[in-house]
Chains A and B, each alone.
Chain A
């Protein structure tokens, strides 16, 4: 069964303290990997799509990378406004999205 696992479940960082979130998956024909941001009381908001190992994408303080078995969301010098839950979703051969359970990130001023 195709699975998506995110770690850690929760992460607290001081403002400016860089770190990485992980999304690992068991593959049955990876077609694409998505990162979304979800703020409390809101729907997920699209951040990135990655398609092949070695690919990287950046947006402000966020950089997403992809290997054959996992993806990392690197957060450089985070600010309090980066606090949110970050969701990973994978599109497998059946072209449906399978979501992980998310990492709840808190940035402390």
Chain B
């Protein structure tokens, strides 16, 4: 089954404790991205990757890091989480990017930073 898998689904952590949210896709997609979803703000892109070893900032990259060492994996790293990073996070993948692309989303990771 074609899917994007995120882990964990739920996470509660304390301020400053480094964490990683994993994302893996089994569709051999070139393009992967991370979004956060907050009430009243919609989905906002954090980082994206157009291929292995190619990553770039989205609209809200501050406080986040990513890496793309393998095509299927695109982890999101919070080196020193803060309460304003409490949010619902989604990983997405697509065969390409731009207007001809259908994005597949993971199930989401609900992160709470206290």
**Chain B contacts for A41, CB-based, 8 A:** 107-108
Residue pair A101, B107 in contact (C-beta under 8 Å): no
Whether A101 and B41, one on each chain, are in contact in the complex, defined by CB atoms closer than 8 angstroms, is: yes
Q: Which of B42, B105, B106 has the most CB of A within 10 A?
A: B42
Name the interface size band of chain A.
Answer: 20 to 34
- Check B42–A46 contact: CB distance below 8 A: no
**CB of B58 within 8 Å of the partner chain:** yes
**Contact (A87, B43) CB under 8 Å given A42-B107, A43-B90:** yes
Q: Which of A32, A43, A96, A100 contacts B105 (CB 8 A)?
A: A43
Hey, what's the 0/1 contact readout for A30-46 against B, CB within 8 Å counting as 1? Answer: 01101000000111111
B103 contacts the other chain (CB 8 A):
yes
Q: Which of B35, B102, B106 has the most CB of A within 10 A?
A: B102
Chain B, 60-97, CB within 8 A of any chain A CB: 90, 92, 97
Chain A residues near B97: list those with CB within 8 A.
Answer: 95-96
Q: Pick the residue among B41, B45, B102, B108 that contacts A43 (CB under 8 A).
A: B108
Q: In the assembled complex, which residues on chain A have CB atoms less than 8 Å from the CB atom of B107? A: 41-43
| Chain A residue, CB-CB nearest to B108 | A43
Assess the A95–B99 pair: CB atoms within 8 A. yes
Nearest 3 interchain pairs by C-beta: A43-B105, A32-B99, A31-B99
Name 11 A/B residue pairs within 8 A (Cβ), A-sorted: A4-B42, A42-B108, A43-B92, A44-B90, A46-B104, A91-B98, A96-B48, A96-B97, A97-B45, A99-B35, A101-B41
Besides A43-B107, A91-B98, 17 other A-B contacts (C-beta < 8 A): A31-B98, A34-B103, A41-B107, A43-B4, A43-B92, A44-B43, A45-B105, A46-B103, A49-B99, A49-B102, A95-B99, A96-B45, A96-B48, A96-B58, A99-B42, A100-B42, A101-B40
